Structure 1
Amino acid sequence: MTSLDIAEVAEQAGLTPSALRFYEKRGLIEPDGRNGLRRTYHPDVLARLALVTCARSAGFTIAQIARFLTATPQDAELRAHLVDRAKQLDEDIARLTRMRDGLRHTATCTHEPLVDCPEFKSILATPEAKAANTAA
């Protein structure tokens, strides 16, 4: 398979060459070699960078990603952390979904002001708040 130079990888991954060098310093990716003075990478690095980018957008630190990339099935502490982080992501997804749905509603809502719309408030309410209102 043909190696990709750093500029090609940066372009395809949507990152800067300096980000690639930073990730390399932190052990997240490895160069395949050099073409003159330019680093080259195996095309598989794009999948690794997609994982790193996804993890970064989910709030993982570089150190956490580096640890995850070297983890083994026997790493019970890491597995427990991943379960906790997955729960946090579920909460984030639920919150963002409520916000998205609320914005979609307000795009066509005629209530004045929009933020006082009962349906909008209901959409944004957490399941716990809805349960408390039902119990009251």
Structure 2
Amino acid sequence: MTELDIAEVAHRAGIPASTLRFYEEKGLIASIGRRGLRRQYDPGVLERLALIALGRTAGFSLDEIARMFAPDGRPRIDRRLLAAKAEELEGRIRELSVLRDSLRHAAACPAPTHMECSTFRRLLEAAASGAVRVPRKRAPRPP
């Protein structure tokens, strides 16, 4: 397979060319040259971009993802880091499940008001104590 230009990589990876340039600035990917003004990439960049996307979806930072590649560009994924992230996600899933179940109860609760519902009151107390974290919106991805 021949080299791919930035527009083709962006199209195939489903991300804007600006993200590719940002990833290149961060050292996550590297172009192999230029044809005119357009950056050219080895077709293997698509697999690397898929690994980056998987890492982002799992909640890894770009710096953490960068450390998952050896200097020669091959994946070097720390299994302990993966296990720790899986545990972190498991905890978050438990928190969100409790929150989901509490909200479902509050939506169907026969109490005259939510403030008279003991389950809803417990949810409020947990939120006030920090035991229930409010889901954070992810920071926008780079342009």
Under TM normalisation by the shorter chain, which class is it?
0.5 to 0.7
Instruction: State the AA in 2 paired with 1:84.
Output: A
Which digits, 9 at most, give the CA deviation of each residue in 1:17-45, with x for residues without a partner?
A: 11001101111111122111110111111
How far the C-alpha of 1:3 sits from its partner, in A, is 0.7
d(CA) in 1 for partners of 2:99 and 2:11? 32
Structure 1 runs of 4+ off > 6 angstroms? 94-100
How far the C-alpha of 1:91 sits from its partner, in A, is 4.2
In the TM superposition, what are the counterparts of 1:9-20 in structure 2 within 5 Å?
Answer: 9-20=9-20
In the TM superposition, what are the counterparts of 1:10-89 in structure 2 within 5 Å?
Answer: 10-70=10-70, 78-89=78-89
Instruction: State the AA in 2 paired with 1:2.
Output: T
Instruction: Give the aligned length.
Output: 118
Q: 1:96 to 1:56 in 2, by over 3 A?
A: same
Which digits, 9 at most, give the CA deviation of each residue in 1:76-123, with x for residues without a partner?
A: xx54333211222344566778999xxxxxxxxxxxxxxxxxxxxxxx
Higher helix share: 1
Instruction: State the AA in 1 paired with 2:87.
Output: K
Q: 1:42 to 1:87 in 2, by over 3 A?
A: same
* TM-score w.r.t. length of structure 1: 0.61
Q: Percent identity?
A: 50
Unpaired runs of 5+ residues, structure 2, are 101-143
Which digits, 9 at most, give the CA deviation of each residue in 1:54-86, with x for residues without a partner?
A: 11111110100001123758xxxx543332112
Match of 2:15, SS state, is coil
Q: 1:95 to 1:32 in 2, by over 3 A?
A: farther
d(CA) in 2 for partners of 1:56 and 1:81? 14
Match of 1:39, SS state, is strand
User: Could you say what the CA RMSD is over the residues aligned between the two structures, in angstroms?
Assistant: 3.6
Alignment correspondent of 1:127: none
* TM-score w.r.t. length of structure 2: 0.58
Match of 1:69, SS state, is coil
Q: 1:27 to 1:5 in 2, by over 3 A?
A: same
User: Which segment drifts farther, 49-58 or 84-93?
Assistant: 84-93
